[in-house]
Amino acid sequence: MPTIVVEVMPKAELLDPQGKAVAGALGRLGQTQSALANVTGVRVGKRFEISIEGEADADALAAVRELADTVLSNSVIEDVVGIHVQDAPSSAVA
């Protein structure tokens, strides 16, 4: 079943309190875990996976683009940063 993935991020110029809080926690961990010591920032966004019947063709993508711009994101505070097609809903990486 084709899945159209929509990714939404808070606007770059706006403060992202969620990302800032996560970055703060990583900063504290980084004092003891050297692999995290060079993390300079974290931003937290959203990923939508929209499963559809039939082909993920241009029409389907255009419809999802419209949905992304009008419902899945709010252009005052967020940007749609990616729309792409994959074969199935995501599962855990090996």
Partner 1 sequence: MRIGVVTFPGSLDDRDAARAIRLAGADAVSLWHGDHDLHGVDALVLPGGFSYGDYLRAGAIASLSPIMTEVIDAANKGMPVLGICNGFQMLTEAHLLDGGLIRNDKGRFICRDQGLRIENNASDWTSEFSANAEIVIPLKNGEGSFMASDETLKALEGEGRIVARYIGGNPNGSLNDIAGVTNARGNVVGLMPHPEHAVEAGFGPDTDDAMASGVDGLTFFTSVIAGALVAR
CA 56 to chain CA mean position, Å: 20
- Shortest approach of partner 1 to residue 21 CB, angstroms? 5
Q: How many CA atoms lie within 13 Å of 23's alpha carbon, on the beta-carbon side?
A: 13
Instruction: Choose, by CB under 8 A, the member of 20, 28, 47, 84 that binds partner 1.
Output: 20
Minimum CB separation from partner 1 for residue 58, in Å? 26
Site string for partner 1, 35-74 (x = CB under 8 A): ------------------------------------xx-x
- CA 90, CA 35: separation in Å to the nearest integer? 27
> Contact letters (x/-) for partner 1, 68-87, by CB under 8 A?
---xx-x-xxx---------
Among 1, 18, 41, 66, binds partner 1 (CB under 8 A): 18
* 3-state class (DSSP) for residue 79: strand
Nearer to partner 1, 28 or 57 (CB): 28
Q: What is the DSSP letter of 76?
A: T
List of residues 6+ apart from 66 with CB closer than 8 A = none
